[in-house]
Amino acid sequence: MFIEVAPKTTKFIHSTPLLQQTAFWARVKQNHGLSTRAFDIKVKSSEVKEHPDPSGSQCCEQKETDDLLVIIRPVSADLQLAYVPYGPTMKPDEDKRGPYLEELSESLRPYLPGNCILIRYDLAWRSPWIDDHNRYDDRGNWLGNPNPRTREFRMNFDTQEWNLRKAPSDVLPSHTVFLDLKGNEESMLKQMKAKTRYNIRLAYRRGVQVHEVTGESLPVWYDLYRQTTQRNGIISDNLDYFRAVLKTKAEETLSPAKVHLLLAEAEGDALAGMFLATAGGRATYLYGASSNTKRNKMATYALQWEAIKRARQDGCTEYDIFGVAQTPDPSHPMYGLYRFKTGFGGALFHRQGCWDYPLNEEAYEIYRAMEQQGQGYHIN
C-alpha cells in the first residue's frame, strides 16, 4: 500500500459532519494553546476498497482522497503524542483498515515532532463486531466489543508489523445515538418513546423555557456544569476551556461550525444547559449540564427538544446525541444516559474507539502503563 500525504494549513480542511475533524475544531485547540497539523491524503481505491469500480474499468488508476486533522499534545515535559479525533474520515473496507492505519502512520511519521511517541486514532468507524451474530443476547441486545486482544488480532490482520494497539480507554464517546432530522416535528415526536414525549410536554407545563444565550451567561452554564461533574465524579474543565469553544470562529475556512449555548430555565433558575454544535449537516450535543435542584421540572427534556429544532433550523439532517453506554446494562454508570438519550428515538451507533500506533516503543510502554494505573493525561 502506498499513501500520499501532503501537509497543508488547517484552514483548508474540508467540510465534514465530524466536528472534531474540522478547521473550526483546529481553531478551538489552537486557542487552547495546542499545536495542530493538517494533511491531504491520497490512496489507490484498490488499496481501501474490495470493489472500487463496479464497472471494473481503470480501477487501479482511481484514487480515494481524504484529509486529516492531527492535534499534538504533551504527555510529559519532553514527550508528546499525536491525537487524531474521530479520524481518519475515509472509511476503508473492514479487512483493509489495519493495513491502512499502519501505512498512514508511517507516512505521517516524518511530519510529526521527533519527540512524538505515538499516534492515537479516535476512530469514528463503525465497530465490525456489530455484525457478529454471536455477540447478541436472547433479547437481541448487543453484548459489546470483545476483549482487547481479540480486537487487536482482527485489526492487525494483514498488517506488516502487527503494531496497532487498542488504547486503555476511549477519549471521545465511542457509543452514541444518531437521530434522523429529515422528517417534520410531528414525525420526530412519534419516533420517541412515550415517556420521553410526556416529559417534554410536562417540562413546558411546569414553566420550563429554553433560550439561546451569549457568552455573558457562560458563568451560569459553568455553575450547572460544576454541579454535574461533582454529582457524577467527573474531572471538570475550567471556564476558559468553554469560553474558547464559544468564542472560536472559522467562517473563512472550508469547514466552519456554529456553536449554540442553550439554557433551560424555570422560576428564575437555570436548570440545564448545553453546547450544541452544527457542522457539515450534523448537529452534535457537545457538552451538557444540569442542576441538582428542581429535577422534577424535566428541564433536560425540553432542552433536547429545543436543540433538535435549532439543529433543523441550521439545515442539519442528523443529530449525534454523543455518548451512551455500549449496552443496556443497569449496572453501567452511563445506564441513566442510555435510557434518557435512547428515549428520543434514533439508532445506536458503536464506533471502534481509540487505537494507538507506537512511534517510540519504549516510551509508549511507559506511558501506557501510566494510563492503565490512572495516571495518564486527559485528552480531548
pLDDT, greater one: 113 or 60? 113
pLDDT given at position 60: 54
Q: Does position 335 have pLDDT exceeding 50, yes or no?
A: yes
Q: What fold does the segment set 182-316 form as a domain?
A: Aminopeptidase (3.40.630)
Give the largest Cα separation in the chain, rounded. Answer: 67
Question: From CA 29, how far away is CA 24, in angstroms rounded?
Answer: 9
User: 329: burial class by Cβ within 10 Å (0-12, 13-18, 19+)?
Assistant: middle
Question: From CA 319, how far away is CA 250, in angstroms rounded?
Answer: 21
pLDDT given at position 235: 82
Q: Which residue has the cell 496497532?
A: 164
Q: Which residue has the cell 473492514?
A: 94
pLDDT given at position 55: 56
Q: Does position 180 have pLDDT exceeding 60, yes or no?
A: yes
Q: How many helices (H) and strands (E) does the chain have?
A: 11, 13
Whole-number Cα distances in Å, 273 to 25, 99, 322: 21, 42, 15
Residue 122 C-alpha from the chain's centroid? 8
Is the Cβ–Cβ distance between 286 and 64 less than 8 Å?
Answer: no
Question: From CA 47, how far away is CA 92, in angstroms rounded?
Answer: 8
| Least confident segment among 19-23, 47-51, 154-158, 287-291 | 47-51
Q: What is the pTM of this model?
A: 0.93
pLDDT given at position 35: 97
Is the Cβ–Cβ distance between 173 and 322 less than 8 Å?
Answer: yes
Query: What is the length of the chain?
Result: 380
Amino acid present at 134 = N
Interval 64-83: pLDDT, tens: 999 999 999 999 999 999 99
Q: Does position 343 have pLDDT exceeding 70, yes or no?
A: yes
Question: From CA 143, how far away is CA 63, in angstroms rounded?
Answer: 37
End-to-end CA distance of the chain: 31
Of all residues in the chain, what percent carry a pLDDT higher than 90? 85
Q: Which among 291, 358, 281, 272 is positioned nearest to 320, based on CA atoms? A: 281
Is the Cβ–Cβ distance between 245 and 284 less than 8 Å?
Answer: no
315: left (phi over 0), alpha (psi -120 to 50) or beta: left
3-state secondary structure 177-227: EEEECCCCHHHHHHCCCHHHHHHHHHHHHCCCEEEEECHHHHHHHHHHHHH
Dihedrals φ, ψ of 72, to 5°? -95, 125
Q: Does position 177 have pLDDT exceeding 80, yes or no?
A: yes
The three cell numbers locating residue 260: 449554540
Q: Does position 182 have pLDDT exceeding 90, yes or no?
A: yes
Is the Cβ–Cβ distance between 150 and 92 less than 8 Å?
Answer: no
| Least confident segment among 9-13, 80-84, 336-340 | 336-340
Of all residues in the chain, what percent carry a pLDDT higher than 70? 96
pLDDT, greater one: 291 or 235? 291
CA geometry: angle at 378 spanning 376 and 380, to 5°?
A: 145
Average confidence score pLDDT of the chain: 93
pLDDT given at position 234: 82
Is the Cβ–Cβ distance between 97 and 71 less than 8 Å?
Answer: no
Q: What is the arithmetic mean of pLDDT over 138-152?
A: 93
- In sequence order, the 6+-apart residues with CB closer than 8 A to the CB of 249 are 27, 256
pLDDT, greater one: 338 or 25? 25
pLDDT given at position 6: 98
Of the pLDDT bands very low, low, confident and very high (cuts 50, 70, 90), residue 38 is very high
Q: Does position 376 have pLDDT exceeding 90, yes or no?
A: no
pLDDT given at position 378: 42
Question: From CA 215, how far away is CA 239, in angstroms rounded?
Answer: 11
Of the pLDDT bands very low, low, confident and very high (cuts 50, 70, 90), residue 289 is very high
Class for domain 3-173+352-372, per CATH?
Answer: alpha beta
Q: Does position 377 have pLDDT exceeding 60, yes or no?
A: no
- In sequence order, the 6+-apart residues with CB closer than 8 A to the CB of 229 are 235, 236
pLDDT given at position 236: 83
Of the pLDDT bands very low, low, confident and very high (cuts 50, 70, 90), residue 56 is low
In the chain, residues under CATH classification 3.40.630.30 are 3-173+352-372, 182-316
Q: What is the arithmetic mean of pLDDT over 283-309?
A: 96
User: In the 8-state DSSP scheme, what is residue 149?
Assistant: H
Query: By three-state DSSP, how is residue 123 classified?
Result: strand
Q: What is the arithmetic mean of pLDDT over 307-329?
A: 93
Q: Which residue has the cell 507516512?
A: 107
Of the pLDDT bands very low, low, confident and very high (cuts 50, 70, 90), residue 53 is low
280: left (phi over 0), alpha (psi -120 to 50) or beta: left
pLDDT given at position 58: 52
Question: From CA 311, how far away is CA 189, in angstroms rounded?
Answer: 15
